Amino acid sequence: MDIAIIGAGMAGLSCAQRLSGNGHDVRLFDKGRGPGGRMSARRALGDGETLQFDHGAQYFTARDERFTRQVEQWEADGIVARWPAAKDDAWVGVPAMNAPIRAMADALGVTFTAKIDGVRAVGTGWKLLGEGVPGQIFDAVVCAVPAEQVAPLLAPHAPVIAELAEATVSYPCWTVMIAFAERPDLPDTLRDAGPIGWAARNASKPGRGDAECWVVQASPEWSRNHLEDEQSAVEALLLEQLEKQAGGTLPQIRHASAHRWRYAMCGDAGKGAIWSAETSIGACGDWLHGPRVESAFLSGWELAQKIIDHG
């Protein structure tokens, strides 16, 4: 089958990888400028030096055999490594968190900056609507985007999927990226420290440089309460909290910026993945499986298997 997958995060890429390996022709579309999604890394300049931050997912674990096999392959390829500073079974991308996603996207091919507004039935197939999309008619469509973005795409043709997505609650996360001139008096990682849900020293991860780049992520509750605050205000508030954890003045700041993830974590709809053989429309993502990188991978894998078995 010719299959269009909307969304090239972990779920969409996992689905595409398995479908492609089983003889299906797959085309991936994503509205972003490049691979990563919530496994993104960001670069910035500080005093003329390029600084790097993993500002989305901080690490992942592998418990299911299907994902474990994938992680072992990534390790053999040199694009992931363990990060014991977080926990014994924590993994990160190398040299940045987006390395596994980038490798998958490069192998499969992704049309980026594609702004898809919906789909239209054409005969027994589907046409994508929006900017940067081809006029091709696809046999099937997979929606691999956050729950809040599913209903506008699929409601007219897959109301059951749309209703389930609308009932799923996602939680935001404010993230502040900071580069210090020298190391602050803090451990490599912090958890559940007041408004700070997580903070980490990027240099403690394998394959990074020695610049004192830190990522501070607010708790879901704090992020929700401050969702519409200005970035500068969020930076100041979370820096103040980090200073409290250090028990003294923080070193000179070389760079500070903030990023708001509106859909950082999601509830688990408990479906794993959804496929309608009648309409040839499916959905996958962590909102269907659980709020972990592994969950997104497994949701994509399971949807691909449904299509292989019943498509």
Asked whether the predicted pLDDT for residue 197 surpasses 70, the reply is yes
Q: Are strands 80-82 and 170-180 parallel, antiparallel or unpaired?
A: unpaired
What's the token pair of residue 304?
A: 């691909």
For residue 247, give the CATH number of its domain. Answer: 3.90.660.10
For residue 78, tell me if it sits in a domain.
no
Domain count, the chain: 2
Question: Taking residues 25-37, what's their average pLDDT?
Answer: 90
Question: What percent of the chain has a predicted confidence (pLDDT) above 70?
Answer: 98
DSSP state of 29: E
Spatial separation of the C-alpha atoms in residues 147 and 284, rounded to whole Å? 10
pLDDT at 311: 65
Q: Does residue 60 lie in a domain region?
A: no
Residue 19 within any structural domain of the chain: yes
Contact (CB, 8 A) for 262 and 147: no
Distances (CA, A) of 103 to 82, 106, 237: 18, 5, 36
How far lies 218's CA from each of 187, 265, 266, 311, in Å? 17, 12, 16, 42
pLDDT at 168 over 80: yes
Do residue 244 and residue 104 come from a single domain? no
Per-residue pLDDT tens for 105-138? 999 999 999 999 999 999 999 999 998 888 899 9
Residue 268's pLDDT is 66
Residue 141: strand pairing partners: 4, 281
Asked, for residue 92, whether it belongs to a domain, the answer is: no
Same domain, yes or no, for 36 and 159?
yes
Residues 129 and 28 in one domain: yes
Which tens digits make up the pLDDT trace of 232-287? Answer: 999 999 999 999 999 989 999 999 999 999 887 876 656 899 999 999 999 999 99
Q: For position 48, what pLDDT does the model report?
A: 75
Instruction: Provide the pLDDT for residue 64.
Output: 96
Angle, CA of 116, 118 and 120, to the nearest 5°? 125
202 and 255 in a common domain: yes
- Cα separation of 72 and 78, whole Å? 10
Tens digit of pLDDT for each residue in 37-91?
788 888 888 777 889 999 999 999 999 999 999 999 999 999 999 999 999 999 9
Q: What is the CATH number of the domain that holds 131?
A: 3.50.50.60
CA distances 266 to 94, 220, 270, 295, Å, are 26, 11, 12, 11
Same domain for 180 and 256, yes or no, is: yes
DSSP 194: T
pLDDT at residue 229, as a whole number: 96
Question: In the prediction, which pLDDT does 49 show?
Answer: 81
What is the per-residue pLDDT for 291?
83
Domain span including residue 130: 2-40+98-168+268-310
Q: What is the pLDDT of residues 132-141, one digit of tens each?
A: 888 899 999 9
- 283 HSE (CA, 13 A, CB side): 27
Q: Which pair of structure tokens corresponds to residue 215?
A: 């990522």
Spatial distance between the Cα atoms of 274 and 284, rounded to a whole number of angstroms? 7
Cis peptide before 95 (omega within 30 of 0): yes
Please give the Cα distance from 142 to 31 (Å, whole number). 15
In eight-state DSSP terms, residue 48 is: T
The pTM for the full model equals 0.92
Task: Decide if 238 contacts 214 (C-beta within 8 A).
Answer: no
**Six-digit token pair at 283?**
């959905």
* Domain co-membership, 151 together with 211: no
> What is the per-residue burial (b if ≥16 Cβ within 10 Å, else e) of 234-248?
bbebbbebbeebeee
How far is the C-alpha of 14 from the C-alpha of 103, rounded, in Å? 12
| H-only helix segments in the chain | 10-21, 65-77, 99-108, 147-154, 159-166, 220-225, 231-246, 286-289, 293-310
Q: Is residue 122 part of a domain?
A: yes
Spatial separation of the C-alpha atoms in residues 138 and 304, rounded to whole Å = 16
Same domain, 276 and 288: yes
Q: 213: pLDDT confidence band, cut at 50, 70 and 90? A: very high
Q: Looking at residue 64, what DSSP letter applies? A: S
Instruction: Round to whole Å and give the CA distance between 163 and 183.
Output: 48
Same domain, 28 and 106: yes
pLDDT at 264: 79
